[in-house]
Chains A and B, each alone.
Chain A
């Protein structure tokens, strides 16, 4: 079974803090993704990566950065957390082969910024 894990299920941070969210997948997937999920807005893509050290902006990259130094790990960084970044953050990974493009999701991190 594919496993995508996220470092924390719940996180509480203060405004202005630097926040790291970690995601690890164990199936040698090329692609990894970070989404945020808010009620009534669905999932919105923040950043994704299709290879080590490669990153692409998604739909809402402002206020976030990412790092992918190893194939299995994709980190989301909030340089200076703000209250409007309170949300559920979902990580996902997928193969880069035709017919094997299903995205597998982690359990999510619910981040609260006070």
Chain B
């Protein structure tokens, strides 16, 4: 079974600075997807960024980028120019790319990292 580990329960960053959130995962599969989700306080969980394992290029979405190291099974999230609105719980998640009903659709989540942004 796949597992996702976020080793930092809490992180903090100064506004306008850069912060990196860590995520490692364990799988025997070669093809899969990785995600970072953001859950602001009392608000809905939303997708931040997505990476396909077969792509070597790291995904980027504006100020958010990932460092995907497939051999090391590492998938860290870098937030540049941090803003107060980035304060949230961040969850790393894994999804198999197997095209089979009744199993591959689900996400495996890490336990989350609470990010605080200091003004």
Query: Are B44 and A42 in contact (CB-based, < 8 A)?
Result: no
Q: A40-B111, A42-B112, A101-B95 are in contact. Are A33 and B106 (CB under 8 A)?
A: yes
Contacts of A54 in B (CB 8 A): 101-102
A50 within 8 A of B: yes
Within 8 A of B (CB), among A21-78: 31, 33, 40-45, 48, 50-51, 54, 56, 58
B25 within 8 A of A: no
Query: Are B44 and A48 in contact (CB-based, < 8 A)?
Result: no
Q: Tell me the number of A-to-B contacts counted with CB atoms below 8 Å.
A: 49
Nearest CB on B from A45, distance (A): 6
Query: Are A43 and B105 in contact (CB-based, < 8 A)?
Result: no
Tally of chain B residues near chain A (CB < 8 A)? 23
Contacts of A33 in B (CB 8 A): 106-107
Task: Give the interface SS of chain B, mostly helix, strand, loop or mixed.
Answer: loop
Query: Are B109 and A42 in contact (CB-based, < 8 A)?
Result: yes
- Chain A interface residues toward B at CB < 8 A: 31, 33, 40-45, 48, 50-51, 54, 56, 58, 90, 92, 94, 96, 98, 101-108
A–B Cβ pairs within 8 angstroms, 10 of them: A33-B106, A33-B107, A42-B110, A45-B106, A50-B105, A101-B95, A102-B47, A102-B50, A104-B47, A107-B44
